[in-house]
A and B are shown apart, each in its own frame.
Chain A
Amino acid sequence: MTMLSVRVWRGGATAIGGRFVGYSVPRRPAQTVLDVVTHIQRHLDPTLAYRYACRVGMCGSCAMTVNGRARWTCRTHVEAVAADESLEIAPLANLPVIRDLVTDMREFFDKWARAKGQFVPTTTRHDDFATVAPGSSARRAVDAAIECIGCGVCYASCDVVGWNRAYLGPAALNRAWTLVNDSRDGAQPERLSAVAGDAGCHACHTHQSCTDRCPKALSPTASIAGLKRRTAIAALKGVLS
């Protein structure tokens, strides 16, 4: 049986003794990277910590760094990334490591909140349903960005996040963009103010790593560009607080 040579990050961050440990895993047909990690935990070392839930690309919890690149492991086939039958699996970059392949996602989701990523209703349950035309430009802008599963791949791939810790990041800004285009939302000036500036959309250098790496083929870069246009208009109108 062909064996895969797998190096897996064990422990915490480098500063507290983290290191790669080698394992040999049987190569199987249609095997995903998550299958490989699960095999190690169930058959070789039960102390290995990693995170997953749905296994079908919906929950966004299994993202890791595979051969130097952030990926969702449940939908990444070994044959697509291990041409020489070897894998190096590490936790996501730009996030604190809790242990082994598990990162602390609090910073990532706190930034969604800081970008005003919550829908703010303008009506109550007693009002009639809002009508949003499916073909309207605002609705189409939302459609293009709404399928984010919050996996953190874009955040881990973003150079700006790496050198500006205050930067909200592609996912939070992408979420804000969907709400900026939501005609039912009642917090537009506050949201545009929250996403403007050196920690917001203006920090983006348009490297497009987020767009290149997004497993859902979204374009946070386009969303951020949209936010730059909207905040510019709002600034000229004097509505940014």
Chain B
Amino acid sequence: MSDARRQSLLWIAQRASAAVLGLCVVVHLATMIVAVRGGLTAAEILGRTRGSVTWMLFYSIFVFAVAVHAPIGLRTVIAEMRGIHGRVVDVAMLAFAVVLMALGWRAVAAVTMGAPA
């Protein structure tokens, strides 16, 4: 794949993931505010999230969007602030994306899998 095409596709991926994140962050913040102001305990929150396919899907998509969006932006920051370009950065950012996904999905599994408390 040409450099021009690869970077254009990265731009599309970052814009698309930003659109998903915009929606996810609003839902996430609204949920947190409702839960806290409603006086729910951690156990009560887990009771609602565990076994919920809806929350699992929502936060899985959220994590995926973060794992796509953040490394592309970080790649630009590294290139502009440290002057490092090319394959080294691309491989490092791919690894960063994998780590973000692994940690994020692990957290999603912890609050959505298993029987309701």
Q: Given A193-B2, A197-B3, A240-B2, decide whether A231 and B80 contact each other with a Cβ distance below 8 A.
A: no
Which chain A residues border B79 with CB–CB below 8 Å? 164, 198
Instruction: Write the B1-23 contact mask toward A (1 if CB under 8 angstroms, else 0).
Output: 01111011111100000000000
**Cβ distance A206 to chain B, nearest Cβ, rounded Å:** 12
Query: Is B4 in contact with A241, judged by CB distance below 8 angstroms?
Result: yes
- Interchain CB contact under 8 A, A234 and B8: yes
Q: How far is the CA of A192 from the CA of B81 in the complex (A)?
A: 26
- Whether the pair A197, B12 counts as a contact (CB closer than 8 A) is no
A163 touches B9 (CB 8 A): no
In the assembled complex, B85 has its CB within 8 A of some CB on chain A? yes
Interface centre among B2, B8, B10 (most CB of A within 10 A): B8
Residues of chain A contacted by B8 (CB below 8 angstroms): 196-197, 202, 231-232, 234-235, 240
Q: Of all chain A residues, which has the CB nearest B4?
A: A196
Interface of B, secondary structure class, is: helix
Given contacts A202-B11, A228-B11, A232-B12, contact A240 B80 (CB under 8 A): no
Complex partner residue of B12 from A200, A203, A236, CB under 8 angstroms? A236
Question: With A and B bound together, what is the CA distance between A228 and B81 in angstroms?
Answer: 23
Whether the pair A240, B4 counts as a contact (CB closer than 8 A) is yes
Contacts of B53-82 to chain A: CB distance below 8 A? 76, 79-81
> What residues of chain B lie closer than 8 Å to A238, measured between beta carbons?
5
CB distance from A123 to the nearest CB of B (A): 27
Known contacts A202-B11, A232-B11, A235-B12: A197-B4 contact under CB 8 Å? yes
| Complex CA–CA separation, A228 to B7 (angstroms) | 11
Q: Are B5 and A196 in contact (CB under 8 A)?
A: yes
Contact A196 B7 (CB under 8 A): yes
In the complex the two chains form, is B11's CB within 8 Å of A164's CB? no
Least CB distance from A158 to B in Å reads: 13
Smallest beta-carbon distance A229→chain B, Å: 10
Q: Among A164, A203, A228, A240, which residue has its beta carbon within 8 angstroms of that of B5?
A: A240
**Chain A CB within 10 A, most for which of B3, B7, B10, B12:** B7
Interface string of B22-35 (1 = CB under 8 A from A): 00000000000000
- Complex CA gap A234/B3 in Å reads 13
Residues in A with CB closer than 8 Å to B3 are 197
Complex Cα spacing A160 to B81, Å: 11
Closest beta carbon of chain A to B110's beta carbon, Å: 37
How far is it, in angstroms, between the C-alpha of A240 and the C-alpha of B8 when the chains are bound? 9
**Which residues of the other chain, A, contact B9 by a CB distance below 8 angstroms?**
235-236
- Provide 14 A-B residue pairs closer than 8 Å at the C-beta atoms, listed in order of the A residue: A160-B80, A196-B4, A196-B5, A196-B7, A202-B7, A202-B8, A231-B8, A231-B11, A234-B8, A235-B4, A235-B8, A240-B2, A240-B8, A241-B4
Write the residues of chain B forming the contact surface with A, with a CB cutoff of 8 angstroms: 2-5, 7-12, 76, 79-81, 85
